[in-house]
Structure 1
Amino acid sequence: MNSYKWQAKLCIKIRSGANTTHYLDFNRIRFTGIPSTKKVKELEGIEFADRDDLVIELQKALSILRLEKSDATISNYYYKFTAYLKWCDSQHMLPIEEKTIQKFCTHCYERYRAGELRSSAYITITSTLKVIFSNLEINNASEQWMNNIVIIANSDNQPHEAYTNSDLKQMLPFLRSLFKQTAKQFSASPEEYMAASKKNSPMNFLWKGVNHKVYLAVNKMMIAATFLLSYYTYSNTTQLLSLRRPQSVGYRKENWYVMSAFKRRAFKVINIEIGDHHIDIPKYCIDFFNTLLEVSKLVDSSSDALLIQACWENKKAPLNNAFLRDFNSIFVKKNFPMYDSMGRELRFSVSRFRATGSIISQINNNEIEAALLLNNTPETIKRHYSDGNKLENNIMMQEAALIRAEQAKNLTTVEKAKETLHIKVLKYEELQDKLSPQIKKAAHGSYCADPFGEKSKKFSKKINSHNLHKANLACADLLNCFGCTHQVIVQSVEDIWCLLSFKECIEESIYYHLNARHFDHNFNQALEFIDKKIIPKIDKKIFNDAEIKLMEVGRHPLWLSPDSILMVK
């Protein structure tokens, strides 16, 4: 490479986790300080670094790693390594030398000790350098140079903070109103708004009695839809932005929608359901989702199109994190600033909506069900989605301390202390009633439309008679669900797989019975109902996919052993 000119062959085209295309430009590495691509093309005010051998080796190494790593990981490697090179240039040190590498890692460690870097950031930086140096052929000894760096534990993870009720009361009405108003105007004149630019064809948005002009309104409409979906489904950003427009599935005159999204790290397909009888979704959101389907078809009518897309000047593009970031930092901050109870700026965040859903699920159920809901392991739920909101936690702790102090000071009861201090403490059961959705998922994959009804009272009375739990429990009489008028079957692969696992577990338990008659007495009614009333009405593709999952993955974790069904009985 004798020429200093920008060369197209020194670029790698990749796709990000949000399904957008961008380039890793290795031309930048040829110059001191890693200047922007624009400056490299202009060749003004930049200095040649004389490291073309490293440029060629790095591009080759990342191209090879791309065969087994995701594009998002390769992009991360590139930006972490260019940051290292930029530091080397600022210190006037050669990058492929042992003393340089160790000095840089020591610099990062000191930043960690000073609180400028979290442990996870330090670990990511050093592990990235270790991977890259082990794949560079420019110096075979460089991999060993990383052996003497400081190793620390990843101990300062900060869980995502859930939104408080007061936060949601500000945010959700705004999102719903923005989506509803923009969708109505877009549906009336789709061609006009798809051709709109930053300077023409604005929509009108009426908020709190003030009329606002909204430019690039199709993008704002789709961003509002993204945040609402994150609240309703608890899905993460990558899954939401990669959703394909779903097909409607009918069952017993009730409709819901099934969308498949690929979760790269777990290498599996996640089904996200929205419908009248889904545990996660309130009924009033069905109108929102039907409207989203309509405007999505107007933006892109092709089959297998993305559900959510940006559109301006008749150009379509997948929505990505940059759109969500600009929505917060430009559109909302400038025109509709919102603040939480501590005076901090409120920003719309998919991760925080997801954390909010996790907390609600854990209050209603437990960490296992929350893990199923968020498609994570229980350990991940504990680590990242269990802390709730710090402000609400502190308020509850302060109120509890005040009540206890008043109780001790005046030798009174808890109820009297609460009355004296004018503190209303919500009982756990009241909190459950407040947050509980109308539909509750059972352990065998079906749902209950009346979990706290008359059967719940009988079940709670039976449990309380054994002094096991003094509370109003949701009905959990699993075998009697089959044939109950409140049972709801949702046609999703995950739920049908759980149901088939339950059925197989029942069948295997025959070896624990005295004889066939004893087995029939216990389980024949439930098995017959599953075989004759439920399975024939399940969509064939969903049923086949569930059977394949049962064969390939095995039974659901709740029903691995027939011991489980015997405990239920």
Structure 2
Amino acid sequence: MTKSNLSGIRLLYVDQDTLAVFPTWEYELVIDNIAVSVDLQRLMYHLCDPSKKKVDRQQQIACYAQTFRHEMDRKAAHATLYNSFLKFKQYLVWCDQNGLNPFTESTWRQYHNYLWELVLIGASSVPIWQMFEGHTTGLKERSANYIFSTTEQALTWCGETAFRWGKQLKQLRVGKVESYEAYSEKELPDILSRLSSYFFQLAIPLLSDTQSDMVSVAINQTCFDVSLRSCNTKGRAKGAELNVDTAFNQAMACSYYLLSYFTAFNTSQLTELCHPIKWQEDRTGEYYKLTAFKRRANKEVLSFVGGEIHKKSLQFIETLIALSLKYTADANSKLLYWRDRDGNQRSISSTLLVKTELSSRLLLLSDKVTRSIPPVSGLLSPLNNHYV
């Protein structure tokens, strides 16, 4: 859709001191390294589909667009704004499907009841891989609470008193995030060994003065190539400014996990480590001294990599320092960073670390992977008997 020439223009009426502002409708947001287009005008249409007719909510959507613009100007996180758009759109579609006015207290109560129904379904649901086609998956109460609060905020941006509407409703609890064991004691040696092997197989060619286009890697007798340069990716990722599949970015992802093991630093402390890294030697051994800032405690914390316990960590940290300094001209730059397709530094993101797919590349399998075999066998046995 062609963007209006009036978009974003301010008009000053002669007989008024106030400004009338046309809202900006279209935005380019960056979510998890992917450029995402958002067109707020589609919220005016039935089922939020521009191919259908407009419905009577232009005034509310214009108010929403004004607040959206204000939040953009305040440098609100793109992910937060995008989630607001998605949850609000989801609510409007639900209202249109049920023939309800989105901006009434009665409709808001019905939507609240609908979310509770999904929570009850979610509490009694079987695992997704056991569900039949068309089965309603339901929601966790924590997820329903997020949808409710985000949509409530969106309605407030429309000029509605949604916070007052929800005061008498049964509260959806946030609850605690369920903790889980990331890996077992049996799995840890394999994880560290393969991370270390992958890191050195990538770092050594990257430190060489003569480089080819590909780095050949062997993990557990499985061989594959890793590109040194960022190349065009397929699908939605083709608009990405950062390719996490390059050899340098893969090596830095390995460094992040290995350094977290050797230092016990959390994400913010690891990603803010800077050069120079101090060398220290005493009667107990040789160390690299890493200093990080713990924000909640408002103090510096120290970690020493090396010594008699982790002798192999010395070789790792020395290689990491050399790799980090080779690709930056700033002697005080960050120790851990990624490089975008133009070779510029980018901060390592815990969200994008998932996209490096290290578990798959390193052929890491959980000890619990065989737990699903008995239920699957039970599901397949009637089929086997049918074809015998």
What is the TM-score when the length of structure 2 is the normalising length?
Answer: 0.65
Determine the structure 2 residue equivalent to 1:222: 252
Determine the structure 2 residue equivalent to 1:308: 336
Determine the structure 1 residue equivalent to 2:201: 181
The percentage of aligned residue pairs carrying the same residue is 15
Amino acid at match of 1:203: V
**Which structure: larger Rg?**
1
Determine the structure 1 residue equivalent to 2:290: 258
What's the secondary structure of 1:95's corresponding residue? coil
| Deviation digits for residues 481-538 of structure 1 (CA, Å, limit 9, x no counterpart) | xxxxxxxxxxxxxxxxxxxxxxxxxxxxxxxxxxxxxxxxxxxxxxxxxxxxxxxxxx
Determine the structure 2 residue equivalent to 1:117: 139
CA distance in 2, matches of 1:312, 1:152: 41
Establish whether residue 105 from structure 1 lines up as the match of residue 112 from structure 2: yes
CA distance in 2, matches of 1:150, 1:77: 26
- The Cα of 1:309 is off from its aligned counterpart by 2.6
Amino acid at match of 1:308: L
CA distance in 1, matches of 2:55, 2:293: 44
What's the secondary structure of 1:86's corresponding residue? helix
Establish whether residue 340 from structure 1 lines up as the match of residue 380 from structure 2: no
Amino acid at match of 1:138: G
CA distance in 2, matches of 1:246, 1:175: 23
Determine the structure 1 residue equivalent to 2:314: 286
Determine the structure 1 residue equivalent to 2:236: none
CA distance in 2, matches of 1:47, 1:170: 58
Question: Is contact 2:250–2:356 with CA below 8 Å preserved after alignment?
Answer: yes
CA distance in 2, matches of 1:274, 1:232: 8
CA distance in 1, matches of 2:307, 2:69: 47
Query: Matched residue pairs, number?
Result: 315
- The Cα of 1:305 is off from its aligned counterpart by 2.8
- The Cα of 1:205 is off from its aligned counterpart by 0.8
Question: Is contact 1:219–1:310 with CA below 8 Å preserved after alignment?
Answer: yes
What's the secondary structure of 2:206's corresponding residue? helix
CA distance in 2, matches of 1:183, 1:221: 6
Determine the structure 2 residue equivalent to 1:208: 220
- The Cα of 1:61 is off from its aligned counterpart by 3.4
Amino acid at match of 1:205: V
**2:63 pairs with one of 48, 57, 74:** 57
CA distance in 1, matches of 2:27, 2:294: 24
| Structure 1: gaps spanning 5 or more residues | 36-42, 194-200, 346-569
Establish whether residue 231 from structure 1 lines up as the match of residue 252 from structure 2: no
- The Cα of 1:296 is off from its aligned counterpart by 1.1
Evaluate the alpha carbon distance shift between residue 177 and residue 13 of structure 1 in structure 2; reply closer, same or farther with a 3 A threshold: same
Aligned pairs for 1:385-534 within 5 A: none
* Larger strand percent: 2
CA distance in 2, matches of 1:291, 1:28: 52
CA distance in 1, matches of 2:6, 2:195: 44
Question: Is contact 2:105–2:165 with CA below 8 Å preserved after alignment?
Answer: yes
CA distance in 2, matches of 1:340, 1:67: 45
| Structure 2: gaps spanning 5 or more residues | 9-23, 123-137, 228-245, 372-388
Establish whether residue 167 from structure 1 lines up as the match of residue 187 from structure 2: yes
Determine the structure 2 residue equivalent to 1:415: none
Question: Is contact 2:43–2:89 with CA below 8 Å preserved after alignment?
Answer: no
Determine the structure 1 residue equivalent to 2:164: 144
